[in-house]
Amino acid sequence: MQHDAFQCGYCTPGQLCSAIGLMGEGRARTREDVRELMSGNLCRCGAYVQILDAVSEVVLANGKLA
Ligand code: FES
């Protein structure tokens, strides 16, 4: 919500699955890593920058899930 990453919501389930997956893998160390690892998701609303901002904030702040 802070990054306005949730628009129509059509892509959100896939985006969240990818975000949880990349957190579980623990390979994302930078914003560019997050961008690359999230690159398979399409967003018809074009909210890529906002989604990247939101996922990067969470992933880079919390690192790998236990
Ligand atoms: S938020 Fe609408 S398709 Fe991504």
Q: In angstroms, rounded to a whole number, what is the distance separating the alpha carbons of residues 56 and 65?
A: 14
Atom of ligand 1 nearest to the CA of 45: 2
pLDDT (tens digit per residue) in 8-27: 999 999 999 999 998 889 88
Contact 33, 4 (CB under 8 A): no
Atom of ligand 1 nearest to the CA of 8: 2
Structure tokens at 43: 């967003």
Per domain, the residue ranges of the chain are: 12-62
pLDDT (tens digit per residue) in 28-50: 889 999 999 999 999 999 999 99
pLDDT at 7: 92
- DSSP class of 7: S
Q: In angstroms, rounded to a whole number, what is the distance separating the alpha carbons of residues 27 and 1?
A: 25
44 lines ligand 1 (CB under 6 A): yes
38 lines ligand 1 (CB under 6 A): no
